Amino acid sequence: MSGPRPVVLSGPSGAGKSTLLKKLLKDYEGVFGFSVSHTTRNPRPGEEDGKDYHFTTREAMQEGIDKGDFIENAEFSGNMYGTSKSSVEDVRAKNLICILDVDIQGVRNIKQTDLDPIYVSIQPPSMEILEKRLRDRQTETEESLQKRLEAARIDMEESNEPGVFDLVIVNDDLDEAYEKLKNVLLEEIQKVQEANKS
């Protein structure tokens, strides 16, 4: 596989992944790309096949998983989601760093492949702060909030196991967290920038 190494970004909801990602994409335009995930759910209004998702059937997706075409896959609320090897290859072929935003289960699945990404976990400073951030969003019912907090607890425990991540960033100071994220990716970023000059 040629092209820059992909980046696997993981961490619980509310840890600040999206904020850090937005900053990265703004500072390094034309360096990063996202793989387009597959899903068996129906398109929402305005979503385009091949751009937002690759919309597919359960049978076709299961067949692909069985053949080993997927790096990771999961099921949420009765729909299947997954990242195919070819969608990551498409990004690498454009000489972009492919960003994969996955949960801890996805991280374990990717470890079984030959992808060789850089693994980064973004963690909240504490469960209390995470709970406050999630409550402040006011987008959750109490039940879904508790589910997210439970998932976050597991995520926080597992991310501290040795060898799971190349870097665990505790996001208690956004600028500091961003510097750490940028530094771990700098070598790949420079490769892309050099190649794009030539």
Domains and CATH numbers, the chain: 7-197 (3.40.50.300)
pLDDT of residue 1: 53
Reported confidence tier of residue 197, pLDDT bands at 50, 70, 90: confident
Around Cβ 123, how many Cβ atoms within 10 Å? 23
- Percent over 70 (pLDDT), the chain: 99
Interval 6-13 mean pLDDT: 93
Closest of 108, 107, 148, 142 to residue 124, by C-alpha: 148
Q: What is the pLDDT of residues 129-178, one digit of tens each?
A: 999 998 998 888 899 899 889 989 999 999 989 999 999 999 999 999 99
Sheet with 167-170: list strands edge to edge: 32-34, 97-101, 7-10, 118-123, 167-170
- Percent over 90 (pLDDT), the chain: 77
Which residues pair with residue 8 across a beta bridge?
100, 119
pLDDT of residue 13: 84
137 labelled catalytic? yes
44 labelled catalytic? yes
Closest of 72, 99, 93, 67 to residue 84, by C-alpha: 72
Token pair, residue 11, equals 């961490």
Interval 15-31 mean pLDDT: 94
Token pair, residue 127, equals 């469960």
pLDDT of residue 103: 86
Over 80: is that where the pLDDT of 60 sits?
yes
Which one is catalytic: 41, 44, 58, 135?
44
Reported confidence tier of residue 11, pLDDT bands at 50, 70, 90: very high
- Total-model pTM: 0.85
135 labelled catalytic? no
Which one is catalytic: 58, 135, 137, 153?
137
Q: What is the pLDDT of residues 83-104, one digit of tens each?
A: 999 999 999 999 999 999 888 8
Closest of 12, 18, 21 to residue 125, by C-alpha: 12
Helices (H), the chain: 17-27, 58-67, 85-93, 104-111, 127-137, 142-159, 174-197
